[in-house]
Structure 1
Amino acid sequence: MTIHIEDLKFQCIIGILDFERVSPQDVIVNILIEYNHENGFINYAEIVDTVKIIMIKSEFLLIEDALEAINLNLTKEFLAINSIYLKITKPSILRDAKVSVSKHFTPIS
C-alpha cells in the first residue's frame, strides 16, 4: 500500500539565512509512504501531525536535516513503514522559483 500526502502547507522556521531565523516561512511537504497494511494500520492524520510538530519545534537550519529527522521519527513510530519518499519545498525563498530538497529512504539491510 502507498499513502500519498500531497502539498502539506504550513509555516516554520527553517533555513540558514538571517531573515529565515526570525520569521516563519511557508513550507510544502510531500510524502509517499510504502507500507505493509498487514503489519499495522497507519493513520495519515497522525503522519501529518508528526511532520508538522517536528518541523515547527526543531527550527532546522537545513532542509536535509529536516528530511532525516522526519524519516527517523516516522519509521520509529510506525513500524509497518517499508520506505518513505519526502520532499520539502520552500516556495517563497526565491522570487522566481520554488526550491525543494527530496530523499527516498529505504530500510537498512
Structure 2
Amino acid sequence: MEYTIRLEQLSFDAIIGILPQERSSPQPLEIFLELVYEKKEDFIDYASLETLIIRHIQKNKFHLLEEALQETLFLIKKSYPSVKKVTMRIKKPTILSHCIPSVSLSLNFS
C-alpha cells in the first residue's frame, strides 16, 4: 500500500538567499511537502519529518532555494528509505513587495 503525507504551511525563519540582508537576518519561509511512501513495517512520523526539515534548512544557511530543496529531499530519502516520491515547495513570503516567490522540486525514487 502507498500512503501520502502532506505538510502544509510549515512556517519558520531561516537564513537563505544571496542578498546581503538575507545573509545577515533570518527570514520567514513557508514549505509545502508531499511525500509518497510504501508502508511495510514502519510508518513515517510527520512530527519527526517536520523537525528534520526545519533543523536541516536552518543549520545549512543555503544560498539558493534550489540547493535547499535538493539537499533536503535527499536527506528525507536517506532518513526514510520507504519514500518513493517527494515534492517540496519553498516560499519566501516577505522578500518581494508585489509577489511571493517560490521554487519547487519533485523527485521520484521508485
Q: For the superposition of Structure 1 and Structure 2, which TM-score range results when normalised by the shorter chain?
A: over 0.9
Unaligned runs of 5+ in 2: none
Instruction: Provide Cα deviations, 1:21-44, integer angstroms capped at 9, x if missing partner.
Output: 000000001000000112521000
- Structure 1 ranges of 4+ moved more than 6 A: none
Contact 1:39/1:80 (CA < 8 Å) preserved in 2? Answer: no
In the alignment, is residue 36 of structure 1 matched against residue 44 of structure 2? no
- Matched with 1:83 is 85
- Matched with 1:52 is 54
- SS of 2:16 mapped into structure 1: coil
Question: 1:96: how far off?
Answer: 1.1
Structure with a larger share of its residues in strand: 1
Q: Report the number of matched residues.
A: 108
Matches within 5 A, 1:1-109: 1-38=3-40, 40-107=42-109
Question: 1:87: how far off?
Answer: 0.3
Could you state the TM-score of these two structures normalised by the residue count of structure 1? Answer: 0.96
- SS of 1:97 mapped into structure 2: coil
Instruction: Provide Cα deviations, 1:72-107, integer angstroms capped at 9, x if missing partner.
Output: 111001011101000000000101110000011111
For 2:42 and 2:5, how far apart are their aligned partners in 1?
Answer: 13
- State the superposition RMSD in angstroms: 1.0
Unaligned runs of 5+ in 1: none
Could you state the TM-score of these two structures normalised by the residue count of structure 2? Answer: 0.95
Work out the percentage of aligned pairs sharing the same amino acid. 33
- SS of 1:20 mapped into structure 2: helix
